[in-house]
Amino acid sequence: MADYRKMWEDLGMDVEMHDQLCAVLPQAFGDVYLSQENRPEGMDYYNMVVADIHGIRPAELIEHQEKGGKVFGTFCVYVPDEIVFAADAIATGLCGGSQFWVPGGEKVLPTNTCPLIKASVGARLDRTCPFFRIADMYVGETTCDGKKKAWEILGEDVPVYVMNLPQMKRAKDVQAWAEEIADFKNKVEEFTGNQVTAEKLAKSIKLINSKRKALERLYHTRKQDVVPISGRDALLISQIAFYDDPARFTQMTNALCDELEQRVENGVSVVPAGTKRIMLTGTPLAIPNWKLHNIIETSGGVVVCEEMCTGTRYFENLVDETKETVDDQIQALAERYMKINCACFTPNEGRIDDILRLAKEYKVDGIMDVNLKFCNLYDTEGYFVERALKEAGIPVLSIETDYTDSDAQQLRTRVSAFIEMLNH
Amino acid sequence: MADYRKMWEDLGMDVEMHDQLCAVLPQAFGDVYLSQENRPEGMDYYNMVVADIHGIRPAELIEHQEKGGKVFGTFCVYVPDEIVFAADAIATGLCGGSQFWVPGGEKVLPTNTCPLIKASVGARLDRTCPFFRIADMYVGETTCDGKKKAWEILGEDVPVYVMNLPQMKRAKDVQAWAEEIADFKNKVEEFTGNQVTAEKLAKSIKLINSKRKALERLYHTRKQDVVPISGRDALLISQIAFYDDPARFTQMTNALCDELEQRVENGVSVVPAGTKRIMLTGTPLAIPNWKLHNIIETSGGVVVCEEMCTGTRYFENLVDETKETVDDQIQALAERYMKINCACFTPNEGRIDDILRLAKEYKVDGIMDVNLKFCNLYDTEGYFVERALKEAGIPVLSIETDYTDSDAQQLRTRVSAFIEMLNH
């Protein structure tokens, strides 16, 4: 810890303020995670990562920079990490999942902004997130009103490159996204001084696909009747996927999957048979936002799937690995990324199909449609999601929440009543 | 009125509910408008239009439909009316400016949606707006999260065609908008059965430019030391511009301008010399939203300019009339429309330049930065607007409001204090 403190000071962080965050996280993590029984041994790795999440990985990123490499901070699953890694740079997630950072964001953003955006901006402006201090460039996108305008404020502090994500999914929009990726490649090449060759891009496409396959494999174990891993643990892995070294993450996740598959074979479950299987759908749950999973899994349910950016939207669909020119590879990237069904698109019927499909695949008993307060996109789309679920006869609970704990008791009451209802 | 009642019934409107609206509007209009002293005589025309706003113009639109013409309902100043008129169709604004319609919208939309969108959707779903009943097709755009998703709900009820407005203003975005306009032209041609020829488009470009010039001329009279027209009246004209027959509107507005220019020459002002000149900037004020203008102008100030969609953003910049092919005309349209500086773009520095320029041109004493509640775009951009105004030494008051009257007293207190401050 002493070494990290020096590192944080060198990064120009507000170390005193950051200490307050460091003081509460272990307790929160212990309460939600370490209290669980019968956890897979493979979770040790992720426990270690999260215990020093502002230490270990930041130190690696700094080491990379000291060797002349660049670090790109990203906010969204539409930004193609493949381009960044192909330029010998590293893409990393940033901070944005704690109420700790929200007041800092509210200094410059409307209160009526979703907590994820407020926390991200606050983490940067308050200098309490090492990833925000380390990143040489941030990559924004035009996914929602709140983020689109937040880039302008962030951009006064550090270089922000914004990708114009089309708002629809016609053939010409996929082409427009391919052009945006090509522009991004040029920017990354210019900024890093490294050329993105077909060879390097092919390698990074394989690298990121491997990560996706490992997560797909992890999620596959959650489809079984036996539940070999808690929703909390799976969520933590999804969250860490945004930060960790992709190759190591893939290796560790595959090792965990070996254990989980063995558990499935041996009928080892983390919950009693008959525990109601819950799927969450909606807005992302950035680390350390474990509130809902914790409430559900301490109220008699188990989370078996997240149709979220921190979930299936992150890893489903692979990039075609057979392309041999940069142009073709970029086209393949555009096609894969445009398959993600975010509520920022109009229309976004594919998401309804995804939810109904996942509900079947994961043998879901009930769905919670979760919205981060002031996310108008997912909130409005909830109208269609909930209607489709009702038509399909799948029980659904609509939840709006933020990062505060003020609604925890009320949420627990509603979640318990929902699971109780599923039990009868 | 009896005839209109029959027309409303034939339109499938909820006439009983609509009666409630009709019962309160004359009183509201009387209080805000007819109580004014020394109004220009030319306002008689607009008084008449607004008195029967759900009667006269709807009857004309129906007559147009009976002759085989189509009517397109639009929500936004980015949608090029020129294309619609060139296909012998009519473009019209819809309803969205009254709290009366908000509860209907809240049945399907999140409460945390701006009142303009909630009112629009409510007016349609409750069947209390003739324009919404008449329009054969609605034209949406991807300007904000709330509208983008609202189209999906509206689209279940009537055909909605959505134009994908780029979120940035690079050269390629102007080209993308030109392509969207070309696609829209094809859609309009298909839907109306009428071809948009270069000749017809040239004519409609001139028609809409003439309307813009008349509004520019109207606004020019407000730049003078003598204030020949109240802000309320000017706002009403801007609001009616979205509904009225363009040729007649242009003619009547030019006739009014003759009178106003005469007033300027004769030194006839609607307010005492030295009355503080206020500019409003921010979100649109759809008819019958006269709340702020009324408060300002009954608190010792006068509104001389609106940097709003119901204001300068609607009429500034003309379409180049010299182009001779449809392709070139569409290019000219794209270039003109992309000059509008809406907060939905990132970045949107042009709007700051506009505000500073307009503040000078209109000899403004103070600015009110007005935000419709839950409009995240203008709310976030307010950070830059207010900073720029402070740097320029222009007093600014930030106002967030909705369509209810619940904050009227508080607004009056704040507005009075602001004007008081300007007076000292």
Q: Which residues of B touch A154 (CB under 8 A)?
A: none
Which of residues 220 through 239 in chain B touch A, CB cutoff 8 A? Answer: none
What percent of chain B shows pLDDT beyond 70?
100
Q: How far is B107 from chain A (nearest CA, A)?
A: 10
pLDDT tens, residue by residue, B337-355? 999 999 999 999 999 999 9
Q: Kindly tell me the sign of the dihedral angle through the C-alpha atoms of A319, A320, A322, A328.
A: negative
B360 by DSSP, 3-state: which? helix
CB of B390 less than 8 A from some CB of A: no
Q: How far is B377 from chain A (nearest CA, A)?
A: 6
Mean of pLDDT over chain B: 97
Mean pLDDT calculated for residue range B187-207: 98
Six-digit token string for A103: 């007041």
CB of B264 less than 8 A from some CB of A: no
Q: Kindly tell me the sign of the dihedral angle through the C-alpha atoms of B345, B350, B352, B358.
A: negative
Distance separating alpha carbons of residues A295 and A292, to the nearest angstrom? 5
Q: What is the pLDDT of residue A2?
A: 53
CB of B130 less than 8 A from some CB of A: no
Candidate from B1-5, B241-245, B332-336 with smallest mean pLDDT: B1-5
Q: Across the strands, what pairs with B280?
A: B306, B368
B380 and A149: CB-CB below 8 Å?
Answer: yes
CB of A369 less than 8 A from some CB of B: no
CB crowding A9-33: b at 16 or more within 10 Å, else e: eebebebeebeebbeebeeebeebb
A303 by DSSP, 3-state: which? strand
Q: What is the pLDDT of residue A158?
A: 86
Which residue type sits at B407?
D
B376 and A145: CB-CB below 8 Å?
Answer: yes
Instruction: For chain A, 424 residues long, give each residue's pLDDT as a single digit of tens.
Output: 457 999 999 999 999 999 999 999 999 999 999 999 999 999 999 999 999 999 999 999 999 999 999 999 999 999 999 999 999 999 999 999 999 999 999 999 999 999 999 999 999 999 999 999 999 999 999 999 999 999 999 999 889 999 999 999 999 999 999 999 999 999 999 999 999 999 999 999 999 999 999 999 999 999 999 999 999 999 999 999 999 999 999 999 999 999 999 999 999 999 999 999 999 999 999 999 999 999 999 999 999 999 999 999 999 999 999 999 999 999 999 999 999 999 999 999 999 999 999 999 999 999 999 999 999 999 999 999 999 999 999 999 999 999 999 999 999 999 999 999 999 8
ipTM: 0.95
pLDDT range class, residue B157, cuts 50, 70, 90: confident
CB of A167 less than 8 A from some CB of B: yes
CB of B347 less than 8 A from some CB of A: yes
Per-state percent for chain A, helix, strand, coil, to nearest 5: 55, 10, 35
**CB-based contacts of A212, cutoff 8 Å, min separation 6:** A314, A315, A316, A317, A318
Choose among B149, B346, B376: nearest Cβ to A142: B346
Q: Which residues of B touch A282 (CB under 8 A)?
A: none
Q: How far is A5 from chain B (nearest CA, A)?
A: 34
pLDDT range class, residue B2, cuts 50, 70, 90: low
Report field, pTM of the whole predicted structure over 0.95: yes
A152 and B377: CB-CB below 8 Å?
Answer: no
**CB-based contacts of A227, cutoff 8 Å, min separation 6:** A269, A270, A271, A275, A277, A302, A304
Q: What is the pLDDT of residue A157?
A: 81
Q: What is the pLDDT of residue B4?
A: 95
CB of A112 less than 8 A from some CB of B: yes
B156 by DSSP, 3-state: which? coil
Distances (CA, A) of A297 to A55, A157, A231: 29, 40, 8
Q: Which residues of A touch B152 (CB under 8 A)?
A: 346-348, 380-381, 384
B167 and A172: CB-CB below 8 Å?
Answer: no
Distances (CA, A) of B130 to A42, B97, B247: 64, 14, 22
φ, ψ (nearest 5 deg) of residue A144: -150, 160
Q: What is the pLDDT of residue A188?
A: 98
| Look-up of token digits 């939203």 | B289
Mean pLDDT calculated for residue range B194-223: 98
- The CA angle A73-A400-A224, to the nearest 5 degrees, is 75
What letter does residue B32 receive in the DSSP assignment?
A: I
Question: H helices of B87-221, where?
Answer: 102-106, 115-125, 130-134, 145-154, 171-192, 198-221
pLDDT tens, residue by residue, B65-110? 999 999 999 999 999 999 999 999 999 999 999 999 999 999 999 9
Residues in chain A: 424
